[in-house]
Amino acid sequence: MTKLTIFLYCFLLTILSINSQQLQWILLSDGSSGDTPMPRRDAALGFDSTFLILYGGRDQSGMPRQDSYAFNILQGYWEPLNFPNAPSSRYGMASASSIGSGLYIFGGFGMQGSSQFYNPYTAYGQSGLVSYKQNPAGSDKQKPKTMNKRDAAAMNKQNPGVMSKQNPGVMNKQNFNQMNPMGHNNYNDNDDRADENFHALPDSWFLSYLTKSWQQTQTSQQGRGFGSAAATPYSSGLPRIIYSMGKSRDWMYSTVESAGQVTSGYNPIGAGQAATIMYDLSSYNPSYPHARYGHSTTLLTDNHLLLFGGCLSGYGKGGPCPSKDSWLLQIDRGHWERLGECPTTKTGAAMVTLPSYSVCSSIGQGIFGGWSGGGGMGNEPPVAVLWGGREFNPSSIRSYLSPNDEVAVFSLSQKEWHLKKARPSSDGGFPMQREGAAYVAGCFQGAPGMFVYGGRSVNDRRLLLSDLWFLQASSQDALSSPNSRGCIYPFSYYHLHGIFQFFTYGVIFPIGYLVGRHAINLSARRPLHMGLQLFGVALAICGFSFGVHSVRAAAWLHFKHAHAIIGIITFILTIIQFCAGLVGAIFLSMHNKKNASFSETDHKYHPKVDHSDTWGGEGVWRIGHRILGLLILALGFVNISLGVFLAVLPLPVWIIWYIYFGFLVLLIIGLEIVALLRRSPSGKSGSYTRTELREDPKGTSQSSLKYSDEPTERHQTIVTHKPRQGATRPPPPEPSRRDTSLPRHGGGTNGDDMAPLILNQRQPRPGDVTSSATLPQYPRPNEREYPAPIRKRSGPSESSGFDYYVGYAPEHEQPLPRSTIQQQNEHNLTRIRLQ
């Protein structure tokens, strides 16, 4: 009983220790052996039980490769393979591997043609050599062939700079050819230019793990490279293969296609056209992921496709590069679901769905089960791991690079990302951060995980790698590993471009337009308008510069979509509008100074400027300035709306912008309608005239009331009397008939008249100088100009005002019968005229 208890205890302890392992890196090959393939990136990697199959890629010279290699996981060495009908040389192809089926590749950049070579891979089962279907006794205890520290030190002494001091098993420097035959060096930070030298291929190929031969399958309507493919990783039935998006030499696609289904587990995929799941759609719809390349995908189940990151900029489309958005596709419904963002931005990262221990244990027996169309693998929930990739580019301001021990984990049941820590390899090292590595999910020594080979270092873009690593992890191991850090939100010039252009065309310019157009009663309207527009132009120049810097593609590849085209047009019109407004303001200022006049008031000369606001009138310049301003505002609003979609922002940001956008549009339209209704019935709005207020020079009212010099009240103190021809003047009035009803002040003084100013004008009468009647004429020997004298009071009953008609000689003034109100009005009016 005691022995049985001890046995059960040890068995349970073993099971718990196996299943309680955390994420851990294992170095399988440091790339220093002579049989190691040439360092490369953007290659394809397949997993077939105890073998890894490497195909294609791009070497140090930048040329596409056609060679293939097999890595024996049990014995730890590489061996070249030669196929009689291999695909043409290529790199950047989408690849996916399915255990029990084969390796699938689609597209890529390369050249047509293939070569006939001897294929030792097909001879494994014929020559009696150790086959991938034969597990020799004790093979699970064999260790991979790696380089120890002594050998690494000796090689580093012979070839200084070749091995890494931090990680002796990893290549650090290689002898590379700086220039490739096409004239572009591989380490030039311009992969887009290098891709222009090759063709985007539309074909797809399938390498059967049973027949060990390549066969061409479906073709797509668009050839493209740097897409991503995903396949049902563990199935003895009909795997589902999906390849998505990618780019050509001049365009980027959002197409998602299915390569069809395999007729049986080991039979080649049938040829024909691919089935389209999603067509190439616009990048201005937030309900699905936009076109991209360099992204990562994996099938969590037969019905759930996970997509992360990539580059959305250039090639006729727009967006962040690199990106960090993640999506989940339900294939049967064709519905995309936006997931929360947590890992940092990545392009060219490795992402796979982890197998379970039960799947790995069944590989040696030729049984590939545990995968169902709607659920997970066995009893474990589907979990994906994401590692590596390029996390920054010259447009990045703050990237928050991933630590060496960080691995991103996604759980389908939780639909959340987690950043976990992985343990180093036995020598204490981690794989170098890289992009464009070949990767595949598989099993090593009965443990599930992910294989990673080669790629390009993200720290030294001249360095291509040839080391092989294995990340040991199962679903439970990944979720139970310790956390690394919180979610990451990087910042780049792309974000600065959006922020500056939003404040320019969404805040500053609208306020400046409203002030200049509708704030007619604001005294500082003109300087405030000019100040706001000057500040807005400065922001627009900065925002435009940030936008150009954030785009890494060539100009002819970027300015092919609506946002880029409208943006460059709007910026040019903004500069033209600013220059035209500045020149117009200078000329109007000179015009106002030129039209200045002088007038005499109270025996003093004062400059009298014509305050007719030509700047606010209906001149040709103003009409053109206003129309161009409205056009710039409209283009700015439209381009901000398009940019909100391209930036792949969360839904609340879209909602807030469109509410604000609607408010601005309604406000501007409403104020324009009010301005139209304010016009005169004749349709002429006229020039806005600003009246100049001044003090009454003689204080003619009790409160020294202010009054204005309207255009109809411009008077001179010098009066010239010209009698009209053909009219006779009536005889002078008799003193006894003069109106003495109004009180008058004592004579000889210029005292102020304290009578109230009555604004009602008297009615015109015959003989009045303001009336249409003619005045009688009397002979006057000498015509002369004389100033209007200030009458002196002749007695206590005589007022200092004038109750007679202006225009008659003093000795011939003739009173007319009129009421007291009319006399007082005439008195006030006459006094105002003489001031």
Dist. CA 143–CA 75, nearest whole Å: 8
- pLDDT at residue 452 in the model: 96
pLDDT of residue 516: 83
Q: 3-state DSSP: the chain helix, strand, coil percent, rounded to 5?
A: 25, 25, 50
pLDDT band of 141, cuts 50, 70, 90: very low
Kindly indicate the confidence band of residue 530, based on its pLDDT and cuts at 50, 70 and 90. Answer: confident
Measured distance CA(333)–CA(139) in Å, rounded: 45
Give the three-class secondary structure for 134. coil
In this predicted structure, the answer to whether residue 305 has a pLDDT above a threshold of 80 is: yes
CATH topology of domain 23-106+195-480: Neuraminidase (2.120.10)
Q: If DSSP codes are grouped into helix, strand and coil, which group holds residue 48?
A: strand
Strand, coil or helix: 527: helix
What is the CB neighbour count within 10 angstroms for residue 477? 26
Spatial separation of the C-alpha atoms in residues 561 and 573, rounded to whole Å: 19
pLDDT value for 600? 44
Instruction: For the chain, give the mean pLDDT.
Output: 73
Q: Tell me, what's the pLDDT at 761?
A: 52
Q: What pLDDT is attached to residue 281?
A: 84
Quote the tokens at residue 419. 């950043």
Question: Would you state the pLDDT for residue 779?
Answer: 58
The answer to whether the Cα torsion of 516, 519, 521, 522 is positive or negative is negative
Q: Which residues pair with 77 in a beta bridge?
A: 72
92-115 CB burial, b ≥16 within 10 A, e <16: bbbbbbbbbbbbbbbbbbbeeeee
Model confidence at 605: pLDDT above 70 = no
At CA 368, angle to CA 366 and CA 369, rounded to 5?
Answer: 140
Confidence of residue 489 (pLDDT cuts 50, 70, 90): confident
Task: Flag the least confident range among 361-370, 401-410, 459-468.
Answer: 361-370
The highest-level CATH class for domain 491-689 is mainly alpha
- What b/e readout covers 417-444, taking b as 16+ CB neighbours within 10 angstroms? bbbbebbbbeeebbbbbbbbbbbbbbbb
What SS3 class is residue 592?
helix
pLDDT at 464: 92
Identity of the residue numbered 112 = Q
Extract the runs of DSSP E, i.e. beta strands, from 634-716. Answer: 688-689, 693-694, 707-708
- Return the closest-CA partner of residue 368 out of 265, 296, 291, 247: 265
- Residue-wise pLDDT for 376-428, tens only, equals 444 678 999 999 999 887 777 877 888 889 999 999 999 999 999 999 998 88
Which range (73-77, 488-492, 639-643) has the least confidence? 488-492
Dihedral of alpha carbons 445, 450, 453, 459, sign: negative
Locate CATH 2.120.10.80 in the chain: 23-106+195-480
Residue 132, Cβ density class (10 Å: 0-12 exposed, 13-18 middle, ≥19 buried): buried
Query: Is the bond preceding 322 in cis, omega lying within 30 degrees of 0?
Result: yes
CA–CA distance, 366 with 356 (Å, rounded to integer): 16
Confidence of residue 541 (pLDDT cuts 50, 70, 90): very high
- Report which of residues 229 and 698 the model is more confident about: 229
- Give the integer Cα–Cα distance in Å for 229 and 232: 11
Numbered ranges of CATH 1.20.120 in the chain: 491-689
* pTM strictly above 0.85: no
| Contact indicator for 488, 468 with CB cutoff of 8 Å | no
Q: Are 216 and 195 in contact (CB under 8 A)?
A: no
Binning pLDDT at 50, 70 and 90, where does residue 716 land? very low
Give pLDDT, residue 230. Answer: 92
- pLDDT tens sequence across 497-509: 999 999 999 999 9
Residue 752, beta-bridge partner list: none
Residue 718: predicted pLDDT: 45
Identity at 181, one-letter amino acid code? P
Which residues touch 511 (CB under 8 Å, ≥6 apart)? 532
- The pLDDT of residue 723: 52
Residue 712's pLDDT is what?
45
Specify the higher pLDDT residue, 358 or 164: 358
Q: Is 711 helix (H, G, I), strand (E, B) or coil?
A: helix
pLDDT at position 686 over 50: no
Residue 359 or 193, more confident: 359
Least confident window among 30-44, 690-704, 814-828:
690-704
- What per-residue string of b and e applies to 146-164 under the rule 16 or more CB within 10 Å gives b? bbeeeebeeebeeeeebbb
Which one is predicted more confidently, 470 or 619?
A: 470
**Residue 5: CB partners within 8 Å, gap ≥ 6?**
none
In the predicted structure, residue 647 carries a pLDDT above the cut 70: yes
What percent of the chain has pLDDT above 70?
Answer: 62
Whether pLDDT at 37 is above 90:
yes
- Residue 277: its pLDDT value, please? 86
